[in-house]
Amino acid sequence: MKLKKLLRVLSAWTAAAIAAGSIAVSSAAAADEADTALGSLGSVSSVSSTAAATNIAQQDEVNAVWIAFFDLQTALKGQDKAGFTANVRQMYQNCADSGLNTVIVQVRPYGDSFYPSEYFPWSSYCYGAIGTDPGFDPLEILVTEAHRQGLTIEAWVNPLRLVSEKEITEVSPSYPVRKWYENAEKKSENLISYGGRLYLNPASEEARQLICDGVTEIIEGYDVDGIHIDDYFYPSGLPMEYDAASYQASRSSLSQADWRRENINELVSEMYSAVKKADSDCVFGISPRGVVSQDYNLVYADVEYWASHEGYCDYLAPQIYYGFEHSTADYAKTIRQWSEMTTAKGVSLRIGLAAYKAGNTDRYAGNGANEWVENNNIIARQINLSRQYDNVEGLILFDYKQIFSEPNDAMKIEKKNFTALLK
């Protein structure tokens, strides 16, 4: 555990323990509580009998939740600085009470920002219109309040996804993306326009530099513990003819598909280097799709290469949003695949889990379509299984809203079960 994080965690833990009247914690009692919680799951129908290596949360285990832009929008709506701060404190308290120790907060969803930025306009999700200053800095509050409660916070950005073509005219001409959009040559080089939305072009060195400058800006301006990106790389379904001319002009010896993958490799490597240059203690994590072939073929992300080579990330958080009965990508098979291919020194796994599926039909799961409806212990069992793998350092739940703001009855039971494993 990094020093600054350790000091914050120890300080918050000590304060909480003193307030409770005792610092001593019985590991035996904790073990009994977790075993009892797991045992109680036996009364609920189960489709997995795989035993766990341990049912006790490890000291350095990362138990995280994604807090998306729409969660922040809800917390910000109609609030001044004090009101937003109060909402954030409650959100974080909810996380801590459920055994979570890390929040991954989406601060740049569409080439916009939840903080004052030199490179990106204020998000419309802050104050209703893009470019509108809310009068305070939401990210500063998010970081301060996280550390106040002993939580680790990572800034989640979408590196390539931008506003829609309709919205770009609302962006101030002072920002790079708007300038490029108005210049035919720069637009062709630096931007991708597909499906009515704009994306930064990973084949462009200038576009990749903007992404890295944005990352550096966050790290230098805020005491974040990490930078996190998800699975938005090349737009899924982007026709080959779209960038055929750029590919030919590059004179690459690679196939066009591999050329795209190499562009993404360059982006990820440059982001990793930018993070480490700004703060060597800051981690860089990537959350790709759970199915490796989809990453490789649909969005041109060579996740297996990142998992087996140093210099691309500190952790991968595959979105293994599948139950144990999923017909084509069952959880047990998929987590094993990710564990076996993650071999690079210093690269670990955090497993992305689908809290949002609790109580809902999984229409792409084939014969397992009703698994999340018929079972209320899936997430606990997934955590249980993940602890068998030495290179799995924890989990990330998607998303805050479904767990805390608007939980259905199934989620309430799931939360009770997984909380017993995390605390």
* 33-70 pLDDT tens trace: 333 333 333 333 333 333 333 455 566 899 999 999 99
The percentage of residues in the chain with a pLDDT greater than 70, rounded to a whole number, is 86
Closest CA to 390 of 329, 333, 347, 334: 347
> With bands split at pLDDT 50, 70 and 90, how would you rate the model's confidence at 128?
confident
CA distance 11 to 14: 5
CA distance 73 to 253: 46
Closest CA to 355 of 132, 66, 149: 66
For residue 382, which amino acid is it? Q
pLDDT digits (tens, 9 = 90+) for 149-195: 999 999 999 999 999 999 999 999 999 999 999 999 999 999 999 99
Residues in Cβ contact with 246 at an 8 Å cutoff, skipping those fewer than 6 apart: 203
Quote the pLDDT of residue 57: 55
CA angle in degrees (0–180, nearest 5) for 74-79-82:
120
The percentage of residues in the chain with a pLDDT greater than 90, rounded to a whole number, is 85
How many residues can be counted in the chain?
423
Residues in Cβ contact with 143 at an 8 Å cutoff, skipping those fewer than 6 apart: 153, 222, 223, 224
Residue 165 structure tokens: 């073509």
Q: Is the pLDDT of residue 13 over 80?
A: no
Quote the pLDDT of residue 48: 35
Quote the pLDDT of residue 31: 32
Specify the higher pLDDT residue, 264 or 18: 264
Q: What is the mean pLDDT of the chain?
A: 89
CA distance 233 to 199: 9
The answer to whether the beta carbons of residues 361 and 373 sit under 8 Å apart is yes
SS3 of the chain: CCHHHHHHHHHHHHHHHHHHCCCCCCHHHHHHHHHHHHHHHHHCCCCCCCCCCCCCCCCCCEEEEEECHHHHHHHHCCCCHHHHHHHHHHHHHHHHHCCCCEEEEEEECCCCECCCCCCCCECHHHHCCCCCCCCCCHHHHHHHHHHHCCCEEEEEECCCEEEECCCHHHCCCCCHHHHHHHCHHHHHHHEEEECCEEEECCCCHHHHHHHHHHHHHHHHHCCCCEEEECCCCCCCCCCHHHHHHHHHHHCCCCCHHHHHHHHHHHHHHHHHHHHHHHCCCCEEEECCECCHHHHHHHCCCCHHHHHHCCCCCCEECCECCCCCCCCCCCHHHHHHHHHHHCCCCCCEEEEEEEHHHCCCCCCCCHHHCCHHHHCCCHHHHHHHHHCCCCCEEEEEEECHHHHHHCCCHHHHHHHHHHHHHHC
For residue 12, which amino acid is it? A
CA distance 286 to 349: 10
Q: Is the pLDDT of residue 363 over 50?
A: yes
CA distance 284 to 159: 13
pLDDT digits (tens, 9 = 90+) for 275-307: 999 999 999 999 999 999 999 999 999 999 999
Quote the pLDDT of residue 115: 98
> With bands split at pLDDT 50, 70 and 90, how would you rate the model's confidence at 15?
very low
What are residue 152's DSSP bridge partners? Answer: 102
Strand order in the sheet with 191-194: 161-164, 197-200, 191-194
pLDDT digits (tens, 9 = 90+) for 368-378: 999 999 999 99
> With bands split at pLDDT 50, 70 and 90, how would you rate the model's confidence at 6?
low
What are residue 161's DSSP bridge partners? Answer: 199
Quote the pLDDT of residue 179: 98
Q: Is the pLDDT of residue 7 over 50?
A: no
pLDDT digits (tens, 9 = 90+) for 387-416: 999 999 999 999 999 999 999 999 999 999
pTM of the model: 0.88
Specify the higher pLDDT residue, 236 or 21: 236
CA distance 112 to 163: 8
